[in-house]
Structure 1
C-alpha cells in the first residue's frame, strides 16, 4: 500500500479515486491542500513553476514513503530479535480429551467458572504474562477459573463439526467440572468462545449458573454486511483444498483477519520501532505479537460453518444456526447473562456483539472503552473489564 503512494498521487489529484463515503470529505480536503502546495513557487529559475511544484510534491511523497517503510522494517527486525519469551508454567490439568485440556487455576475453594476461548487462537491470551493474566488475577477475587485449551487439531478433530465441539467435547468438559465441584457453574466465552457457550447454555441449562460473553459476535451483518460477505468470499478459493487438508491453515486465517485493518501491521511495527527495546512496553508488545503469530488452524467443517454460515449468510442472527439439529435461539436462555462489549473493537463490531444480549431475557450489558484484545490484556483491562466480570461472577447463581 505504501509502495503505491507515488503511483496513486496523479489519481488523487485528478479526483479519479473512488473514495468510500466516510473518506470523501477528507480526500477532497487533501486535494485542496495539494493544489495550494503546487500553486506556490518552488524554484525561481524554473520556467515551468507548476511542473517544479509538482515534482517537489512527488519527491516529498517518495521521501515519506521510504521513511515509513524503513520504520516498519526496523520494527519487524527488532521484534524478531527481541529476547522476551513467555515462560509461565501451566496450572494443573484436571480433564483431557483428544488434543483438548482443561486447566485449573484454583484456588480449590473458589467459585468455579468455566472459560471457553476461541477455536482459532491459543487459550493463553487469558494468561499472557504475570502482569496481564485474567486467569491468575481472578483467584485473588475468590474465583476459580477453569480454562479450556483446545490445543492443535489432530486426526480426530479434523473430522469435527461445530456440533462435535459443542454437543460433544465441550459438554463433556462441563460435565467434568460440575461433577468435580458438585454444582452448576457459570460459563464465560471470549469472542468465538461466546458463541460456543451460548449454544452450550441452551443445551445444558441445569448445569449452567450464568453466561458471560466477552466481545462475542452475533449479528455478522449489523455494521457492514459487505465486509462480512467479503470474509465469506475469501473462503471460496480454499474450498477444494479444505477437503484434502482437513483444515483452514493458520496463514489463511491470518490473511483473513488482516483484511479487517490492512494498515494495522504498518502502524504497530512503526510504533514498536520507536520503543525502548528494554522497556516493559516493548516486552508487552512482543508477548502479544508472539500470541498473535501462534495461531491454530480451523478444521474444515467449522471453517465452512463459520465463514459461509456466520459471515456469509448471518445464520446466527437469522435463527438458522443449528447445533445437534436444534436452532441456537438465545431468546430461550433463562440464566443470568452479562455481555462485555468493547466499544473500540475492530474485530467484532460493537453493533454485532450488542445484538446478542438484546435478545437474551434480562441480560446485562457493559461497554468499556477498550478494544477486542485490549479488554483482556491492556492497561485498562482490569478496571474496564476484569473487575465488572469478577463482581458479576461472585454474585451469579
Structure 2
C-alpha cells in the first residue's frame, strides 16, 4: 500500500519531511507487467494499469522489444513524481492560515465543549466524528455549514469532542453516547432539539435519539455508515482487512490508550491511496492565490490535524463495526440496549453522498432504508465536499435547511 501524507510546518518551526511513503512488493501484477517485465514495487491503480496497457500496445505495434516498456513506464512515473513533488511543495509554502472567530462555549466537560453559533430558531445540536477536528463544519467564510444554518434562523450548537485526555482514553462508545453526549444534550436550550450527526457522529446521534426521543424533534444523518459490509465483495473484504489489523495495533493501544493520529491517517489513506497523489498533482496546477487553492489548503490542514481515538472505542469500531458488522447485523449495543433504527419514532433526514469513498453509499443507504420516517437526499459530492466543498451549499445545506424548516413547523 502506498501512503502519502504532506505536513505543513507551523510558522517559525523547522520544516519536517514533505511526505512519508511506504510500499511493499506483494501486490498482484497486471498481465502487461508479466508480459513486458517492469518490476514496480508499488500498487498500480486501475488508471495506471490502463496506461501500462496503452504503452505496451503502442510499443508492440512499433516492434520494440519488451524491455522498452520498463523505460517507458519509468519515464511516465518520473513525470508524475515531478508534478506530485511540485504539489506538495506548493502546499507546504502556501501562506494560508485559518482565522475564524471562535463561538462561545455554553458547556464544558473534560476536553469537550458545546459551542454556540447563535441563531433564533429551534435548537440544533451537531455531533461530529470522534477522529477529526469539528471545525470542518466551520472551515472558512463561505464554507461554514454551521454559520450558514445559523444565518437561516436555526439555533446551532456544535459538540466539539476535543482531544482525548487520560479519562477519555478509557471511554467506550457507551461512555461517549450515554454519558457525554447525553449530558451535552441536557445542556441545550429549552425546547425539543434537532440532532445532526456527521459520519461516525451520525451513529452516536442515532443511538442517542433512540435513548432520548422525548428531547428530540428530528434526526439528521450525514454520510453515516450502517452496514459495513454493504457494497459487494470488495467492501466486505476491505472491512475484514481493517478488522484484521487490530491484533497488530494492540501494543500501541495498550501503551498509549489510544489509536494514534498517524495510524488513523494511514487507515484512511488505504481506502484510495492513488487519490492522495492525484490531488497534489492537481493542486500544483492551480493558481495559488485562487479560492480553490485556499480551500484545498484549508481542507488539507484540517485532514492533517486529526484526533486520537480512545483504545476501547478503536476496538469496538474495528472488531465490532468493521469485523462483525454489528450495526448492520442488528447486534450493536449501547448501555446494554440494541441500537435498532426501525424503533426510531421521530422524522429523519439521511444525506448520502454519491461520490463517498469513506462511507460507501450502500452502507449509508442501508441505514436510511431502515428508518421508518426518513427523507433520503442523494448528494452529488464526496464525503468531505458534501459538508465543506465549493458546491456544498446547493448540494446539501439548502436541502437540509428546507427539511429543518419543515420540522420546525
What TM-score, normalized by structure 2, do the two folds share? 0.87
- Offset at 1:323? 0.5
**What is the distance in 2 between the residues matched to 1:115 and 1:350?**
21
Q: Does 1:171 align with 2:182?
A: yes
Which runs of 5 or more residues in structure 1 are unaligned? 18-22, 42-49
- Offset at 1:273? 1.0
Greater per-residue helix proportion: 1
Q: 1:317 aligns to what SS in structure 2? A: coil
Residue 141 and residue 25 in structure 1: after superposition, are their counterparts in 2 closer, same or farther (change >3 A)? closer
Equivalent residues of 2:229, 2:322 under 8 A apart: yes
User: 33, 38, 47: which one pairs with 1:12?
Assistant: 33
The equivalent of 1:197 in structure 2 is: 205
CA-based RMSD of the aligned residues comes to: 2.4
The equivalent of 2:349 in structure 1 is: 338
Q: Does 1:370 align with 2:391?
A: no
Q: 2:156 aligns to what SS in structure 1? A: strand
Q: Does 1:84 align with 2:96?
A: yes
Q: Which moved more, 1:274-283 or 1:141-150?
A: 274-283
Residue by residue over 1:286-308, the C-alpha shift from the partner in whole angstroms, topping out at 9 and shown as x without a partner, is 00000000000000000000111
- Offset at 1:149? 0.5
Q: 1:94 aligns to what SS in structure 2? A: strand
Q: 2:283 aligns to what SS in structure 1? A: helix
Query: In the TM superposition, what are the counterparts of 1:110-121 in structure 2 within 5 Å?
Result: 110-121=121-132
**What is the distance in 2 between the residues matched to 1:370 and 1:111?**
28
**What is the distance in 2 between the residues matched to 1:4 and 1:221?**
26
Q: 1:348 aligns to what SS in structure 2? A: coil
**What is the distance in 2 between the residues matched to 1:267 and 1:286?**
15
Q: Which has the larger radius of gyration?
A: 1
Residue 236 and residue 131 in structure 1: after superposition, are their counterparts in 2 closer, same or farther (change >3 A)? same
Q: How many residues align?
A: 377
**What is the distance in 2 between the residues matched to 1:142 and 1:221?**
39
- Offset at 1:8? 6.2
Q: Does 1:351 align with 2:362?
A: yes
Equivalent residues of 2:200, 2:225 under 8 A apart: yes
**What is the distance in 2 between the residues matched to 1:67 and 1:394?**
52
Residue 240 and residue 159 in structure 1: after superposition, are their counterparts in 2 closer, same or farther (change >3 A)? same
- Offset at 1:58? 2.9
The equivalent of 1:46 in structure 2 is: none
Q: 2:165 aligns to what SS in structure 1? A: coil
The equivalent of 2:329 in structure 1 is: 318
Residue by residue over 1:30-62, the C-alpha shift from the partner in whole angstroms, topping out at 9 and shown as x without a partner, is 647624422314xxxxxxxx43xx454332222
Equivalent residues of 1:38, 1:57 under 8 A apart: no
Equivalent residues of 1:114, 1:147 under 8 A apart: yes
Q: Does 1:97 align with 2:105?
A: no
Residue by residue over 1:59-80, the C-alpha shift from the partner in whole angstroms, topping out at 9 and shown as x without a partner, is 2222111111111111111111
- Offset at 1:184? 1.2
Equivalent residues of 2:138, 2:145 under 8 A apart: yes
**What is the distance in 2 between the residues matched to 1:153 and 1:116?**
16
- Offset at 1:10? 8.2
User: 202, 211, 221: which one pairs with 1:213?
Assistant: 221
Equivalent residues of 2:32, 2:56 under 8 A apart: no
**What is the distance in 1 between the residues matched to 2:24 and 2:193?**
54
Q: 2:159 aligns to what SS in structure 1? A: strand
User: 186, 189, 192: which one pairs with 2:194?
Assistant: 186
What TM-score, normalized by structure 1, do the two folds share? 0.90
Q: Does 1:40 align with 2:48?
A: no
The equivalent of 2:135 in structure 1 is: 124
- Offset at 1:379? 1.8
- Offset at 1:143? 1.0
**What is the distance in 1 between the residues matched to 2:194 and 2:214?**
11
Q: 1:335 aligns to what SS in structure 2? A: coil
**What is the distance in 2 between the residues matched to 1:187 and 1:344?**
24
Equivalent residues of 1:319, 1:329 under 8 A apart: yes
Residue by residue over 1:269-325, the C-alpha shift from the partner in whole angstroms, topping out at 9 and shown as x without a partner, is 111111111111111110000000000000000000011100110000111111001
**What is the distance in 1 between the residues matched to 2:253 and 2:54?**
49
Which runs of 5 or more residues in structure 2 are unaligned? 3-20, 39-44
Residue by residue over 1:108-159, the C-alpha shift from the partner in whole angstroms, topping out at 9 and shown as x without a partner, is x222100000000000000000110001111221111100100000111011
- Offset at 1:378? 1.3
Residue 33 and residue 85 in structure 1: after superposition, are their counterparts in 2 closer, same or farther (change >3 A)? closer
User: 166, 170, 174: which one pairs with 1:159?
Assistant: 170
**What is the distance in 2 between the residues matched to 1:70 and 1:302?**
40
User: 144, 161, 164: which one pairs with 1:133?
Assistant: 144
Residue 84 and residue 25 in structure 1: after superposition, are their counterparts in 2 closer, same or farther (change >3 A)? closer
Residue 10 and residue 366 in structure 1: after superposition, are their counterparts in 2 closer, same or farther (change >3 A)? closer
Equivalent residues of 2:36, 2:56 under 8 A apart: no
